[in-house]
Amino acid sequence: MLSMLKNVVYNLTHKPATRKYPFEKREPFEGTRGHIENDIEKCILCGICQRVCPSNCIEVDRKNGTWKFEPFACIVCGACVDACPTKSLVMLKEYRPIAHEKYVIVQKKEMKTSSEKEEKEGI
């Protein structure tokens, strides 16, 4: 009985051991691997990320200017992020939001023709 009373007094006078989750979120640890994102504007569609990916979840099509990513096939190893020469791929610490069905992320890069570049530069 005395040990239980000691425990009750201790719990009343100290901070709780847990946090109120939806309202207080913990900052991710350093080096946490959450999910991969691509900045398509920086991407040069070289295909190195596709070649180094062990799970083959990245597909680069230079002809059509598309970059496809299957997040449910990704093992979040970070090999593509390390190999990217333009650093357009980044590993974010936050986890991908909950999904109820599988999906594929497709990003299309706007390819500019030489005539469009000349018009923009005013040549």
The residue-averaged pLDDT of 50-77 equals: 95
How far is the C-alpha of 71 from the C-alpha of 52, rounded, in Å?
16
Could you tell me what percentage of the chain is helix, strand and coil, using 3-state DSSP and rounding each to the nearest 5? 25, 15, 60
- What confidence tens digit (pLDDT) does each residue in 16-50 have? 888 888 898 888 888 888 999 999 999 999 999 99
How far is the C-alpha of 69 from the C-alpha of 38, rounded, in Å?
9
Is the pLDDT score of 60 beyond 50?
yes
- What confidence tens digit (pLDDT) does each residue in 83-110 have? 999 999 999 998 888 899 999 999 998 8
| pTM score, whole prediction | 0.70
By DSSP bridging, strand 66-69 and strand 89-92 are unpaired
Better-predicted residue by pLDDT, 81 or 123: 81
